[in-house]
Structure 1
């Protein structure tokens, strides 16, 4: 696996990944841990939605149906990155909408060449020219969403010819020498594909470096509750990932379980929080309530003073090791109202939607499955990416 990744990744991209993500990431995570021991808080990573604009209309997307799409001002984005770097953290997840629709994006990557960015993209705009620009930046790993086969992808993503366009994007990215990942939001309609050895081997043949599985969460204008996995299906997915790590020459990432198979919540752990395109700081992308906004005060002061985020970190672990939004949507509304957190969904009806939402199983609902691979056990215990930093 390492030989394949080293051979097919552009050497400057490989160096930036090792140094900006690996070395700096390890130091940043250690600083995060030291802050916690001193009773201080600032997240280890930020996930930032730079725009609500998108060229698709996916099931379960949190940005659809907004009354007005927001686009983050470059000055605000630079502020977030600069203030986070000052706290010793250099890794950022860049989300949308579709972030490749955000015109200042490449300039941001170039300006902050000392950082490492994970670009969450549907891939339809990842042209050879864009891939070449990302290669020149060298500090970006595209994470391309793969949501189903020819029959499923168009329905899941609300577009046309998505399966072919996604495969084309993967080949363009790996062909440019980018350290490339593929992500799948696993739901009932693509579970069979997710568990298919043919699917994984196909990614390996395309020289994909890592595969990230996460569980479908019913949110947004079209939550499609019928796609949520059952407890048995979640357990099946978890068991498959543990076994697959010993079989396939590709890194398999999950966001939700520790080395012993116990559930994790990035927001509850404080490892990461989400900043939406309007600048509101949210616990995670799917909990669309906020009591704090970038620009009102410096970020370190914002996190020190936010009683809303602090209460979530304290109270969620007492209720679940899984996703509180899926398991107890009523409680999310209650704590938001308690702290006068506003609805940041852009639809104006998130409180009403969650009060009507029936609970569904999450990763905390399934029986624990312990990691078999010593490498993954070590990574999940020590390395930042394995401790639920990705949400």
Structure 2
């Protein structure tokens, strides 16, 4: 796998990946751990939604159905990045909507060559020209979402010819020498594809460096709860991932199980938090409530003083090691009402939706399956291994 990445990657992209993401990312994770030991808190990294705009309308997307779309100003985005760097963290996930629809995106990323950015994209706008711009910057890894094959992708994405457009995006990125990732939100309609050796091999053949699986979360104006995996399917997926890591010439990423196979919630651990396009600091993208806004005061003071985020980290582990939104949505409603948290979904009905939502299993369900590979165990226990921790 390492040999393949070395041969296929642009050298500057490879250097930035190893140093900005690998070395500096590991250091930022350790700084985060040291802060926790001293009773201080600031996330190891941020996920930032820069825009609500998107050219697709996917099932289970948290951005759909907003009364009006928000777009973060370039000044605000730069300030968030600078304040995070001041705490020794240099890795950022850039989300949307579709972040490639955010006009200031490249200008902002170019201002921070010392950082590393993971760009969550549906791929339909990732042309050869866009791939070349990313190659020149060298500090961006595109994470391209696959939601199914020809028969499933258009239904999940509510678009036309989405599978082939996504496949083309992967080829454009890999051909440009980018460290290219593919993500799949695994649900009932694409589980067979996720577990297909042919699918993984097709990505390897296209030059994909890493594949990230996460579990479908029913959110947004069309949560489509019936797509959520049951307990047995989650167990099957977890077993498959652990075995696949030793079989295939590609990195298999997840961020919801620790080295011993126990479920974890990045928001409850404080590993990461999400800042939405309106500037509200949410526990994670799918928990769309907040008491804090980036304009209120510096980020370090917000994290020091936020009772909402602090109590959430204390209380969720008492309930589950998985996703509280899935396993006990009514508890989440009671918690946010207790803290008088603002509905940041843009739909103004998130509490009502959660009250009506049935409980479904999450990654906290099932029997723990420990990692077998020493590298994966080390990465999860000691190093920075947060690629894709948003779900």
TM-score for the superposition, normalised by structure 2: 0.99
1:191 is matched with which residue? 191
Rounded to whole Å, the distance in 1 between the matches of 2:27 and 2:307 is 27
1:388/1:141 CA distance change after superposition, 3 Å: closer
* Structure 1: distance between partners of 2:148 and 2:389: 25
- Alpha-carbon separation, structure 2, partners of 1:304 and 1:331: 25
Tell me which residue corresponds to 1:127. Answer: 127
1:175-254 aligned within 5 A? 175-254=175-254
Unaligned ranges ≥5, structure 2: none
1:55-66 correspondence to structure 2 within 5 Å? 55-66=55-66
Structure 1 stretches of 4+ with a deviation exceeding 3 A read: 386-391
Q: Deviations over 1:43-71 (max 9, x none)?
A: 00000000000000000000000000000
Q: Assess if the C-alpha contact under 8 Å between 1:381 and 1:387 holds in 2.
A: no
Match of 1:3 in 2: 3
Matched, 1:83 2:69: no
1:137 is matched with which residue?
A: 137
| Structure 2 counterpart of 1:98 | 98
In structure 1, C-alpha distance between the alignment counterparts of 2:339 and 2:384, rounded to whole Å:
30
Number of equivalenced pairs: 391
Q: How is 1:267-306 mapped onto 2 (pairs within 5 angstroms)? A: 267-306=267-306
Contact in 1 for aligned 2:284/2:390 (Cα 8 Å): no
Instruction: Determine the C-alpha separation between the residues in 1 that align with 2:177 and 2:195.
Output: 27
After TM superposition, the structure 1 stretch with the greater mean CA deviation from structure 2, 69-78 or 375-384, is 375-384
Q: State the SS of the aligned residue for 1:385.
A: coil
| Partner residue in 2 for 1:107 | 107
**Cα distance in 2 between the residues matched to 1:363 and 1:153:** 23
Is 1:45 the counterpart of 2:53 in the alignment? Answer: no
Give CA deviations for 1:220-242 in whole Å, capped at 9, x if unaligned.
00000010000000000000000
Q: Secondary structure at the match of 2:63?
A: coil
Cα shift readout 1:26-83 (whole Å, capped 9, x = no counterpart): 1111111111111000000000000000000000000000000000011110010000
**How far is the alpha carbon of 1:389 from its aligned partner?**
4.4
Deviation, structure 1 residue 387? 9.3
Distance 1:33 1:11 in 2: 31
Q: Could you report, residue by residue, the CA deviation over 1:303-361 in whole angstroms, capped at 9, with x for unpaired residues?
A: 00100000110000011000000000011111111111000000000010000000000
> Structure 2 CA distance, aligned partners of 1:303 and 1:250?
36
Q: Tell me the secondary structure at the aligned position of residue 258 of structure 2.
A: coil
Structure 2 CA distance for aligned equivalents of residues 247 and 115 of structure 1: 32
Query: What residue in structure 2 maps to residue 256 of structure 1?
Result: 256
Deviation, 1:370, is: 1.2
Decide whether aligned partners of structure 1 residues 182 and 68 sit closer, same or farther in structure 2, where only a CA change above 3 A counts. Answer: same
TM-score normalised to the size of structure 1? 0.99
- Distance in 1 between residues matched to 2:388 and 2:53, nearest whole Å: 27
Unaligned runs of at least 5 residues, structure 1: none
> Alpha-carbon deviations, 1:261-314, whole Å to 9, x = none?
100100000000000000000000000000000011000000001000001100
The one-character-per-residue Cα deviations of 1:351-378 (angstroms, maximum 9, x if unpaired) are 1000000000000011111111111111
**1:257 to partner: Cα distance:** 0.4
